[in-house]
Amino acid sequence: MINHKHFLANFRAVREQSPLVHNITNYVAMNFSANALLAIGASPVMAHAAPEVADMAQLAGALVINIGTLDEKWIESMIIAGKAKQQAGGPIVLDPVGVGATAYRTQTAWQIIEACHPTIIRGNASEIMALLHADVKSKGVDSSCSSTDAVDSAKKLAERTGAVVVVSGEVDYITDGKQVETIRNGSAMMPRVTAMGCTASSMIGAFVAVHAHNPFEASLHAMAVMGIAGEMAAQQAKGPGSLLTHFIDTLYTLTETQLIDTLKQ
């Protein structure tokens, strides 16, 4: 279960410290993820040019690598940044978008894992399962499985890679291979907004930047904030378009009392 004192302390730290989060992410997610990070109080940078990513990664509090829109130059930049961040000793979040849809994506994800040793891996159920099981296929970048289906795979992936693994879905699961925690907040409308999952990975980047010594707890706190904000925003939204707007506004106006009162585990 979430330690309320730690949860609020880390939420407060993101707002007070405004950690720099370096995102090498996809074209679809850039705007939404950047706005969400700004709304929660973090400082986003979206830099993917190979000549600067090592310097940027070392400067940032956390590096988020998202393989949503792949090409060879981006993969080169991801690995340069990941190696630089690993050498600097800072946290790395990997979002293996669309793994299982093509062999190229799966191979790229493992190339990054083996070269950069991410601190945290966050994906939907199909993506997490496909990293371990070649016969699991994702529906493009969408999951064809429920998050509950992926718990065993998440634990095995955590054991194999040494990373905290986050499975997002109707119920979010967070595991380090031994302990497993859940977040049950959210809205069925959230998957109808593109890049919501990518934004969750960026949010994890913000929380692990201020809580790097405990990536499991940082991941748990970030997913709680995402779920709570989505749930509160959905109460005001008429559809996915207005959900996006209300979600950003909710992140900006969230109070500590709302976090504790709304949290579901």
Alpha helix stretches (DSSP H) within the chain: 4-17, 30-40, 50-59, 72-88, 103-116, 125-132, 151-161, 196-210, 215-234, 240-253, 256-262
pLDDT of residue 138: 60
pLDDT tens-digit profile of 203-259?
Answer: 999 999 999 999 999 999 999 999 999 999 999 999 999 999 999 999 999 999 999
pLDDT of residue 133: 85
* Number of domains the chain is built from: 1
The reported pTM is 0.96
pLDDT of residue 135: 65
Phi, psi of 104 (to 5 degrees): -60, -45
> Average pLDDT of 12-40?
98
Whether residue 143 is predicted with pLDDT greater than 60 in this model: the reply is: no
Any idea what the Cα angle at residue 31 is, between residues 28 and 37, rounded to 5°? 125
pLDDT of residue 134: 64
Residues with Cβ within 8 Å of 172's Cβ and at least 6 positions away in sequence, in order, are 147, 166, 182, 183, 184, 186, 223, 227
The domain containing residue 206 runs over which residues? 4-262
Structure tokens at 230: 């989505």
Of 60-64, 98-102, 198-202, 238-242, which range is least confident? 98-102
**Identity of residue 164:** V
Residues paired with residue 65 on neighbouring β-strands, in sequence order: 24, 94
pLDDT of residue 146: 81
Q: How far apart are CA 247 and CA 169, in angstroms?
A: 17
Residue carrying structure tokens 């979430």: 2
Q: How far apart are CA 145 and CA 36, in angstroms?
A: 27
CATH code, domain carrying 125: 3.40.1190.20
pLDDT tens-digit profile of 170-212?
Answer: 999 999 999 999 999 999 999 999 999 999 999 999 999 999 9
Whether residue 139 is predicted with pLDDT greater than 70 in this model: the reply is: no
pLDDT class of 136 with cuts at 50, 70, 90: low
Q: How far apart are CA 27 and CA 84, in angstroms?
A: 23
Phi, psi of 161 (to 5 degrees): -100, -20
pLDDT of residue 39: 98
Whether residue 140 is predicted with pLDDT greater than 90 in this model: the reply is: no
pLDDT class of 145 with cuts at 50, 70, 90: confident
